[in-house]
Structures are given as C-alpha cells and as structure tokens.
Amino acid sequence: MHEDDVRRVVDVASVCYPQHYEDMAIFLERLRLFPDGCLSLETDDGRVEGYILAYPWTAGGAPPLNQLVLRLPAEADVLYLHDLALMPEMRGHGHAAAGLERVVHVADGRPVTLVSVNGTVPFWSGLGFQVIDTPALRDKLASYGEDARYMVRR
C-alpha cells in the first residue's frame, strides 16, 4: 500500500464496514507505523478494490476503533489483522486467502489475531482462525459491536 492509495482504501472501508467507520488518519497512521503489513489490492487498471491492514500488537488486545495508537507496543507478541476488506465484485476469487498468506509471512512465526465483525466467524474459521472467548475480551470488544469475536491463528 502507498499513501496515495489511502483515500480509496477509506472508500472501500466505508462500503465494507459502514457501521465501523474510521478516519483517513487511522489508515495513514497504520501505514506509517508498519508498512509491511499494509497491502492494497489493485485491478489491472490500477484501481484499489481491497486492502489489508496488519501490525504488531499484544495478545488478547485490540485497539479501539477510530483511535490513533501513536506507536506500536514494545511488547508486541502477535500480528494484529486490523482490517481485510474487498469490494463485492472482488470477493470469491481467492484474494483474501492470498493476502492473508502474505500477512502470515510478515508475522514471521507470531500468531495472527483479529476481531471478527459482521458475522464473519465462519469465514475466518475457514482460514484457520479460532475464537478465543473470555469475559475480559468481551469488555474490550464492546466498541466493535455485539457480534465481535476475538480470533487467533497460530
């Protein structure tokens, strides 16, 4: 992903996650903090139609939605997959799995974690993630919505 992609990334996010809006500043910050985990999916004509944001974080945690993190935690022990979004016409072509494999490579042996929203637990389970459900996590995920589930792929 390049900084020039971020305006379109925000457009894709607005289509895919309308109830979880995040400002452009969030995407720019994550790209600045960990560019290796920020990928964009471009069509042959160069239009961004999907993206992934992932960065080092701490196990059992998820940054609050639409808030800057300022810096990555020194004690980071997982790679947190903040977002994976594809425009509807890009779905079903293996792009999500291919992007995830790139993220797993960047994780360099660390677990990959995420917060599943919008009823996507079956999708993520199919890609090797497992739900971790504890009362402490439920409190941390309140801003993500009632169906939010913390998931890990080891």
Locate the domains of the chain by residue range.
3-153
Q: Report pLDDT digits (tens) over 84-112.
A: 999 999 999 999 999 999 999 999 999 99
Res 47: pLDDT = 94
State how far the Cα of 24 lies from the Cα of 103, in Å rounded to an integer: 22
User: 120 phi and psi, to 5 degrees?
Assistant: -95, 10
In whole angstroms, what is the distance from residue 25 CA to residue 97 CA? 27
Closest CA to 38 of 29, 46, 109: 29
Give me the percent of the chain exceeding a pLDDT of 90. Answer: 84
What is d(CA 17, CA 9) in angstroms, rounded to the nearest whole number? Answer: 12
Q: Is 72 helix (H, G, I), strand (E, B) or coil?
A: coil
Q: Is the pLDDT of residue 30 over 90?
A: yes
pLDDT above 90 for 142: no
Tell me the per-residue pLDDT of 37-63, one tens digit each, with 9 for 90 and over: 999 999 999 999 999 999 999 999 899
Rounded CA separation 39/50 (Å)? 8
CATH homologous superfamily for the domain 3-153: Gcn5-related N-acetyltransferase (GNAT) (3.40.630.30)
